[in-house]
Structure 1
Amino acid sequence: MNRTTLACRLPARRWLPVIAIGLALAAPAQADSVTDWNAVAGSPAVLPRFGGPQQQNRAMAIVQIAVHDALNAIQPRYRSYNAIGAAPAGASPDAAVAAATRTTLLTMLGALPPAPTPVEATNRANAIVAVNAAFDAAIGPGAPDAAEAAGIATGDAAALAILSLRYVNTAGVWTPIDGSGTPNSPPYALSAGLGIHQPTPAPEFPAVTVPAFTGWPAVRPFALDSSSQFRSPPGAIFNIASAQYADACNQVKQQGSARVRGAFPNSHHSDVARFWAGGALEWNGNARIIVAARGMDRWQHARMFALMNMAVADSMINNLESKYHYNFWRPVTAIRWPDDGNPATASDPAWRPFLQTPPYPDYPCASTSVTGAAAGTLRRFFGTNAIHFTRTINAGAVPLPAPMTELPPKVITRHYGSLSIAENEQARSRVYAGLHFAEGCYAGLRAGNQVADWVYARYLRPL
């Protein structure tokens, strides 16, 4: 049986903990089907297959909308994103969640362009195996009973509804129609100049980084009216002759230097940079931790994850529109520039950031846009900023300039007493990593908060 098609039906019995299939998932113990499947979709085995952060966030929004709408078809409690009609009486909610997630993931994996390398082809095959294994673990052996069959049909219907807004199915081949299929078109072509973003200069690691996601502003938002709806206002740092620019440049030059961070590998700044190295893709994991002990049910979890991932996906579309509207250079280009005309800055052609520079302009920051959207949604959802959470991550190794040796992997735990504390630390982390001027980080946070407010006020409202 071809499990990558919407027509597939696997036997269903009961919900089993997803951890039983051996995936390295950061899900809380004794979670429900919604949080467990969120962990499957966001796992290292599955989510990176969709590409960069922008593509991953889009995929998560599609998954979580399907899950939300499937549950609402069984018991309507909120306005659905897509109207799919009422589920048959007695339909299993857990089977619906499993089917909605599996069908969206497998369809989107099948719609990807050819894998660029044999390794990635293997990774994609393994992702499909992981998703199907999670489904088999969730829906036990034997033929499904009537409730499970109805739940699977409902989950598939919810998946088809959101997929059909984003893809066209021609003879079984799914092709994106929302603009996401051409993420790097048109190619970036601005010439080098003062303040103008450029390919990351060598020697960077692993090599020169070419500007990417130039076409992402053309992707259809999930909730916003347009990709420019919350365009960030011009930054004061755009005036390169100013004292404010010099202060910002010198700050990241010192705090985000690979040599400085490598000399103080266990400092607060180094740990914070490494903790948030994933560019704020950690927010689904953060949300699972936050909801673990709050006594919420599957419908509440589904609404929260759908709202958050819609806001995050739209924040990235909005962010890339701002980035490629201003095309402001990254610290690595600015600090190596021979003479920027500001007497308070000094060129350092050998300077290197602590972490690798992402392939798009500086202003505003993309990862803080994600954080602003996620934290803003959680703040609105729970009605408070005073949300405490603690997370432990296994930070990866960090290469350093010769003759320094690579920093080894490290277990890092961070505790946050509120969402705003987490937001502000994540913003500072990009300066400590050498990736951003601080102003762009806070501009990203503000834009992400605006997107969150817009989405929350207009979508998936209680009935």
Structure 2
Amino acid sequence: MRSLRRSLALAITPVLAFSTVQASATTQQQVDVALEWFDVTATTITAAGAPTQVTNNRTWAIGWLAATRALLRTPTTSRPNDYRDAALAGAIHETLVTLVPARKTELDQSLTTTLARIPDGSSESAGLTAGRRQAQTVLASRANDGLDPASVNVPFTPPPATPGIWQPTPPTFSPATQYGNRLAKPFLLRQADQYRPGPPPALDSSRYRRDLAEVRADGAVDSTTRTQAQTDTATFWLGSSYVLYTAPSRVALAEIARKPLVERAKLIALFHVASVDTQIATSDTKYAYQLWRPVTAIRTTADPTWTPLHTTPAHPDYPSGHNTYSGAAEQVLTALVGARTAKPYTIGSPTAPGVTRTYSDWRQLTTENVDARVWSGIHTRTADLVGVTLGRQVAANTLREADRLFR
């Protein structure tokens, strides 16, 4: 957990620092309540979030879904904006104090800060009550959904060592993780295997041989074919997808600052709903096919001492979870924000301290994730590309079925 908190803190610190400076420079101006509570959510999870990525996506999804539901039900009032600001803050505060109780003192102070800007009255109190009520309703609907850390990492016993079948990987040979995701309750998928892709290429196929040869050459720790720029890309995108995509999702929220508050809350809710459902679908596919990792394949068939640039995560190769996540994120952000941003944006990475990269769209993030996992030596390119497609499919389903969440 300490590693998760440190990683997210590094990734969002530049964003939060900018936000603080911006706020101090506009003390008398209206505060953007959506960005304010985005930062509260991110900071809360950084400080005391779950050790499992999907659990933290679930926390975001519940809080921002509750906020959207409350905003969609804005009553006729003389001060509708007061109602909306209080509703959003109330929904997210109620969610976070329930799911991250260690941060209650800080969360109560954040709520006090928001409410102090809103004139006392019936609109404020109604909004706060509505937000809290919607949070309680969504929390109840997600109780025992199998996305708590213990359920996510329920033990998995791999079958006997067989060519092509996943086994724990060096150097630690750790037990499999994330098996329980495939057993969890989705938000909008009808079932975990709804978009399960076909099987990976056969071990004796030309495609698989080509995939493995590429990883062996370009993904080795001592590769002579991987360039420094490729190594840098692999290192930049090495960390948690949740951490790496927190800054881009904040950029997206700011990008639609002129849209109604309900549409902005919906963006963050659907981003994380899609992320949760994508991780469920990813684990379903990984453990349905149980394809061995490149390090196992290469050591078994070609070079018993081969070592990847980066340590291989403890779950099967096909598909790449980083790329299902990036595919889902790209799909949601493109659909709800647009393919390109109004101006370039810059993000950092906890696995490349001090390094930043600048982008003007969402597609390039996906492209770099595909390459990065090959150059890290931990995924085949087919696993990456199939992952992107799966993530896009699940996210498209989220967008089509979104109304079911807001009834």
- Report the TM-score range of the alignment, normalised by the length of the smaller protein: 0.7 to 0.9
What residue in structure 2 maps to residue 449 of structure 1?
392
What residue in structure 2 maps to residue 434 of structure 1?
377
Deviates most, 53-62 or 307-316: 53-62
Change (3 A) 1:322 1:435: same
Change (3 A) 1:212 1:33: same
> Aligned equivalents of 2:186 and 2:252: distance in 1?
27
What residue in structure 2 maps to residue 198 of structure 1?
167
Q: Is the 8 A contact 1:200 1:332 kept in 2?
A: yes
What residue in structure 2 maps to residue 223 of structure 1?
188
Letter in structure 2 aligned against 1:271: D
- Calculate the aligned-residue CA RMSD, in Å: 3.1
What residue in structure 2 maps to residue 311 of structure 1?
274
Letter in structure 1 aligned against 2:15: A
Q: Is the 8 A contact 2:215 2:375 kept in 1?
A: yes
Alpha-carbon offset, residue 329 of structure 1: 1.0
> Aligned equivalents of 1:137 and 1:257: distance in 2?
51
Q: How does 1:20-35 map onto structure 2 within 5 Å?
A: 24=13, 26-27=15-16, 29=19, 32-35=32-35
Q: Classify the secondary structure of the residue corresponding to 2:49.
A: helix
Letter in structure 2 aligned against 1:254: A
> Aligned equivalents of 2:251 and 2:49: distance in 1?
24
Change (3 A) 1:142 1:72: closer
Residue number among 359, 374, 377 corresponding to 2:314 in the alignment:
359
Residue number among 213, 232, 239 corresponding to 1:271 in the alignment:
232
* 1:106-132 deviations in Å (ceiling 9; x for gaps): 21235xxxxxxxxxxxxxx3x444434
What residue in structure 2 maps to residue 255 of structure 1?
218
Alpha-carbon offset, residue 48 of structure 1: 6.5
- TM-score, scaled to structure 1: 0.74
> Aligned equivalents of 2:278 and 2:322: distance in 1?
10
> Aligned equivalents of 1:155 and 1:94: distance in 2?
10
> Aligned equivalents of 2:313 and 2:304: distance in 1?
20
Alpha-carbon offset, residue 348 of structure 1: 3.6
1:73 matched to 2:73? The reply is: yes
Change (3 A) 1:272 1:439: same
> Aligned equivalents of 1:69 and 1:90: distance in 2?
15
What residue in structure 2 maps to residue 286 of structure 1?
248
* 1:122-180 deviations in Å (ceiling 9; x for gaps): xxx3x44443443343334999644332222111111011101112xxxxxxxxx2122
Q: What residue ranges of structure 2 are gaps of 5+ in the alignment?
A: 1-11, 23-30
Change (3 A) 1:437 1:307: same
Letter in structure 2 aligned against 1:208: F
Alpha-carbon offset, residue 293 of structure 1: 4.1
Q: Is the 8 A contact 1:393 1:413 kept in 2?
A: yes
Q: Is the 8 A contact 1:33 1:94 kept in 2?
A: yes
What residue in structure 2 maps to residue 18 of structure 1?
none
Change (3 A) 1:326 1:50: same
Letter in structure 2 aligned against 1:233: G
* 1:28-81 deviations in Å (ceiling 9; x for gaps): 6467222322232233753772222222222221122112112222269xxxxx
Q: Classify the secondary structure of the residue corresponding to 1:316.
A: helix
> Aligned equivalents of 1:33 and 1:417: distance in 2?
25
Q: Classify the secondary structure of the residue corresponding to 1:304.
A: helix
Q: Is the 8 A contact 1:200 1:209 kept in 2?
A: yes
Change (3 A) 1:255 1:390: farther
Q: Is the 8 A contact 1:39 1:285 kept in 2?
A: no
1:385 matched to 2:385? The reply is: no
Q: Is the 8 A contact 1:25 1:39 kept in 2?
A: no
Change (3 A) 1:424 1:259: same
Alpha-carbon offset, residue 273 of structure 1: 1.7
Q: Is the 8 A contact 1:68 1:302 kept in 2?
A: yes
Q: Is the 8 A contact 2:248 2:347 kept in 1?
A: no
Q: Which 4+ stretches in 1 moved above 6 angstroms?
A: none
1:58 matched to 2:61? The reply is: no
Alpha-carbon offset, residue 212 of structure 1: 1.3
1:179 matched to 2:179? The reply is: no
Deviates most, 275-284 or 65-74: 275-284
Letter in structure 2 aligned against 1:147: S
Q: Is the 8 A contact 1:45 1:130 kept in 2?
A: no
Q: What residue ranges of structure 1 are gaps of 5+ in the alignment?
A: 1-22, 77-85, 111-124, 168-176, 341-345, 397-408
Deviates most, 61-70 or 27-36: 27-36
Equivalenced residue count is 378
> Aligned equivalents of 2:14 and 2:272: distance in 1?
18
- TM-score, scaled to structure 2: 0.83
Change (3 A) 1:422 1:90: closer
